[in-house]
Chain A
């Protein structure tokens, strides 16, 4: 009996991990190359509606996530074009695409009113669904790319000093394009997983700040994939804890329990930045590069 309870507690902790991992790794990838990716929230919303479209069209959750990935990449193309080629202020690009994502997704949903008809992902191993393992695989790949391959160094150098990288013969625009497009694709997967596996549908504001939490995770982690894993675990734990406490009913109104993840972002972000202010920051973050 006690063992069951411990296992179910552990599972409830792990259940949100893929959402945070996909989105935060996406942000990390973009930010490492110097693109701010503030549009996470909108991209995840669009990933959600694309996932829903995919599921309705194909009746397959896997293809739904693929649709989410493609949807995220579409926003990645937009963001790269605006931020890298046209050199629009990246905060503005971020806010603009955030609004755009919510607008398009909400409009599609209002017109078509799609419903999920399939079940959630069924567990394959240790009562965790396959996507959990896929997200771990993505984490490992990102980790290896950044710590063991020359591509990681290339991306990092573009994010720290684009001009020096350019002089060394690296195509800054290409690197930023690839990183942003793939990164936003990952955010799209995160959004579609949130929609398909948790929300089991769509609402205009269903992402409810989880995109911004992922954005903060990347920042708190000081752009290290291993820290992203720890932070995803932490925020997944907090979200899971909040749901469990609500089910148990411990006398705190649900409105306040819902804010637990947001409060913890404020606390963790402040602590992390106050303590590790100058560690590992991509110094060209948000600065558009212009060839002379």
Chain B
């Protein structure tokens, strides 16, 4: 039996294709069962799912737009999982990224290129410090990072909805959102509505790959993730490593927020992080610590989200995507259990 944990380029093309086929078949089965339950024609729904996500120009563009923030956030969580930490705070860190990016672009009067670089740097620092809180508590006192990162989400999201509904509100649109960022700071479009932020996400993938596999710090983080006490007794400062991985993880997640501002929304608005931070957990689990798999996992998750959302017109509830992701989650990790 093909184990999901073996999904990867290193495992050979045949194996990767087999695993992908299994995943797609399971999506088809779940969609089919759902359509039968809610009483719509499954033979109509399932082809529509694939047309709306991959086999049409508009659908593919839409999937790639969704892939962009998911990829960056997925990479962020992968950096933490490489150190055996769960950063469930990507949602909140993305919200901080949105706030900092929009804030810098709206309120500072500088040349566009300076604004873009400054806002990316500011977003990274804010997210990193936010993720670093949980990392610091974990390293200093052993406080479990899962509840802390989750609770911090609610606080950052509250800050975002406060800003867009209050001080930053653009009046007269009936929906809490800020003024758009200056025209010159918007990233150019690659094709249709797909922004250059997609390329930025791919570039970040390369950087994160090189960081984890070619740099000393990345190597140490991986060592601490594999065996904390072995890393400790070989003289590494594991507390620093725990903090560093959460710090970098938080910063990257904030960049995912920036990509939403620069490439998709061009402003801050409430709810724009759209639970991507939670979906990204699924990506990190699917990719299982391997950066080179994250883009594929992100595309797959984006496909599910975009596809299910497009099916709401025929009556399939959008929230089914959570069901699909939850099932995938467990299915993908069943192989873990048999480990001796």
Contact = CB atoms under 8 A, between A and B. Distances in A.
Interface of A: 38, 42, 82, 86-89, 91-93, 95-104, 106-107, 110-111, 204, 208-209, 212-213, 215-216, 219, 253, 255-256, 258-259, 262-263, 265-266, 269-270, 273-274, 277, 288
Nearest to A110: B317
Contacts of B152: 262, 266
B144 A96 contact: no
Give the size category of B's interface with A. 35 or more
A35 to B, nearest CB: 14
Given A86-B337, A263-B151, A92 B322 contact: no
Interface in B147-164: 147-148, 150-152, 154-155, 158-159, 161-162
A99 to B, nearest CB: 3
A287 B181 CA distance: 49
B281 interface: yes
B329 interface: yes
A255 B146 contact: no
B336 A92 contact: yes
A258 B330 CA distance: 33
Given A89-B333, A92-B285, A270-B141, A265 B323 contact: no
Contacts of A98: 326
Nearest to B137: A270
B201 to A, nearest CB: 23
Nearest to B39: A111
B165 A255 contact: yes
Contacts of A253: 162, 166
25 contacts: A82-B337, A87-B336, A88-B330, A88-B333, A89-B333, A89-B336, A93-B330, A95-B326, A96-B329, A98-B326, A99-B326, A104-B323, A106-B322, A107-B34, A107-B317, A107-B319, A107-B323, A110-B317, A215-B147, A253-B166, A255-B162, A262-B155, A269-B148, A270-B137, A270-B141
9 tightest A-B CB contacts, nearest first: A103-B323, A106-B319, A99-B326, A100-B326, A103-B322, A96-B329, A110-B317, A87-B337, A274-B141
Given A103-B319, A103-B320, 11 more contacts: A82-B337, A86-B337, A95-B281, A99-B325, A111-B38, A204-B319, A219-B147, A255-B165, A263-B151, A266-B151, A274-B141
Interface string B68-103: 000000000000000000100000000000000000
B334 interface: yes
Nearest to A107: B317
B2 interface: no
B143 A86 contact: no
A259 B155 contact: yes
